[in-house]
Amino acid sequence: MNRLPIFLDLRDRRVAVVGQGSLAARRVDTLSRAGAEVSLFAEHPSDEFAPLEGKYRHGDFSAPEAFAGFGIAYFAYEPGEQPNEALIARVREAGTLVNVADYPALSDFITPSVLDRSPLVIAIATGGDAPLLGRMLKARLETLIPANYGRLAALAGAARAALAKKLTNQQARLRFWERVYDGPIAETMLAGDDATAKSMLDREIESCRPDGSASGDAPTGEVYLVGAGPGDPDLLTFRAFRLMQQADVVLYDQLVEPAIMDRVRRDAERIYVGKKRANHALQQEEIGELMVKLAREGKRVLRLKGGDPFIFGRGGEEIEKLAAHRVPFQVCPGVTAAAGCSSYAGIPLTHRDYAQSCVFVTGHGRDGPIQLDWASIIRPRQTVAVYMGLAHLDFLTKEFMRHGADPALPVAIVENGTRPNQITLTGTIADIAAKAAAHGLRGPTIIIVGEVVTLRDKLNWYTPHRAPEASDA
């Protein structure tokens, strides 16, 4: 390690910035937000400094002691501008540490890429050799570290004094914090419930044993109801991925892709609970009872559902059961099938020239085809997305026409949407059922009805990872 990483407290400390372009403006903005007392040395500051007025003082190059009293100085030259090495030497002679952007050999220190989750701050540096690599690694960490980790750090900081009074042994405090950061208190904070997390932490401090372990209370589990999206693992949210990594047991069904299950924590128990059409491994009531049982055993239960759990996913029914039994839970939404499949098929659900509204309906009820409100569904300039409609497609298309839909109304069926084996079949209300039967579509599918389907030829961008059949449209 040829450079020592440090974090400076710059509040009310004098810092100089030399430069007059965009890089210097960014330096001034960052330093002022860190609480520094910034002086800008620039002969002709650019317009980018206008929003920063009041955040810095104007320095005078010609003053004999112009750079006296500054702890650090940033030289922010624009591309093509050569460093003024005489001025840099003059500043260094005043006892000031110098950073010259893009010139590590002229610098006493370098500025890392910073991931700011204040008070949690992560800095990444490459010694000035590969700054772009540092920024790329920072971008990856942005996806892995939720913003609420900063609030968790602040919560812990506010409780340190109270814990120190309760636990004088350093190892006991370490054990306590390890349990907090890997348990329900941290999870509650990351879910955004600050007040509950604080109450939980206060109770935990009050009841902890002298060795820092938990009191003898029964373990408390939790259920994570998570939407896995329509199939492509890249469509998982950051929060979904985090919950998938910390679950002890996973309840999953037919619509969850194996590639998504690969993202679940390796040692988590996996329980298949269905569901194929008319062939459920477990009935809905049994799934609810199982979640309650596992949570009461102290386990973190991941209920992983295809698409979004609150859009025809029966998620509301499942958490009603949890709420009735006072089992803690949280819900993480996912990309619903209509949004994901239409995007990957090149069919916008709304478009200023074709559709100003979109409705989601299900084509499958408890006892077969569902009776829909056709008057509200069949309207001009409206898109209809039908979930679970393939099994009753012939009935649905006939009902569309019986209630006044134009037989030439465009329709698309997207099978295995967003997945490597995606197939998109287009036709009209009059012929789509016959086409689907001829192609042997089996599902899962989303059916899109409306003029927006005609945009597919122009907007289709996604190429499945297999050679499409000639009959694919």
In order, the DSSP letters of 399-444 are: HHHHTT--TT-EEEEEESTTSTT-EEEEEETTTHHHHHHHHT--S-
Active site residue 275: yes
Question: Which pLDDT score is estimated for 129?
Answer: 83
Q: 222-227 and 120-124: which strand pairing?
A: unpaired
Confidence band for 9, pLDDT divided at 50, 70 and 90: very high
Catalytic residue chosen out of the listed positions 275, 299, 321, 435: 275
> Which bin fits 171, alpha (ψ -120 to 50), beta or left (φ > 0)?
alpha
Mean pLDDT of 448-461: 97
Asked if 124 and 134 touch (Cβ cutoff 8 Å), the reply is yes
| Residue whose entry in the numeric block shows the structure tokens 């099938």 | 337
Is the pLDDT at 172 greater than 50? The verdict is: yes
Question: Which pLDDT score is estimated for 429?
Answer: 97
Question: Which pLDDT score is estimated for 365?
Answer: 66
Both tokens of 269, joined, read 């128990």
Confidence band for 471, pLDDT divided at 50, 70 and 90: very low
Which of these, 331, 290, 328, 329, lies nearest to 313 by C-alpha position?
331
Task: Name every residue whose Cβ is closer than 8 Å to that of residue 167 and which is 6 or more positions away in sequence.
Answer: 173, 176, 208, 210, 212
Confidence band for 194, pLDDT divided at 50, 70 and 90: very high
d(Cα 229, Cα 418) in Å, to the nearest integer? 9
Is the pLDDT at 331 greater than 90? The verdict is: yes
Q: How many CB atoms lie within 10 A of CB 346?
A: 17
Q: Give the gyration radius of the chain's Cα atoms.
A: 30
Question: Which pLDDT score is estimated for 470?
Answer: 36
Asked if 302 and 249 touch (Cβ cutoff 8 Å), the reply is yes
Mean pLDDT of 382-393: 95
Write the pLDDT tens digit of every residue in 251-284.
Answer: 998 889 999 999 998 889 999 997 555 555 578 8
Asked if 29 and 52 touch (Cβ cutoff 8 Å), the reply is yes
Question: Which pLDDT score is estimated for 235?
Answer: 96
Question: Which pLDDT score is estimated for 468?
Answer: 43
Average pLDDT of the chain is 90
Confidence band for 465, pLDDT divided at 50, 70 and 90: low
Q: Of all residues in the chain, what percent carry a pLDDT higher than 90?
A: 68
More confident residue, 232 or 255: 232
Q: Which of 158-172, 205-219, 222-236 has the highest mean pLDDT?
A: 222-236
pTM: 0.71
Q: Which of 148-157, 265-274, 281-290 has the lowest mean pLDDT?
A: 281-290
Question: Which pLDDT score is estimated for 372?
Answer: 86
Write the pLDDT tens digit of every residue in 445-454.
Answer: 999 999 999 9
What are the φ/ψ torsions at residue 37 (nearest 5 degrees)?
A: -95, 100
- How distant, in Å, are the alpha carbons of 280, 296, 340, 428 from that of 353? 42, 53, 21, 20
Question: Which pLDDT score is estimated for 438?
Answer: 95
Q: What share of the chain is helix, strand, coil (3-state, %, to 5)?
A: 35, 20, 45
Catalytic residue chosen out of the listed positions 253, 299, 308, 321: 253
d(Cα 65, Cα 18) in Å, to the nearest integer? 15
d(Cα 274, Cα 254) in Å, to the nearest integer? 6
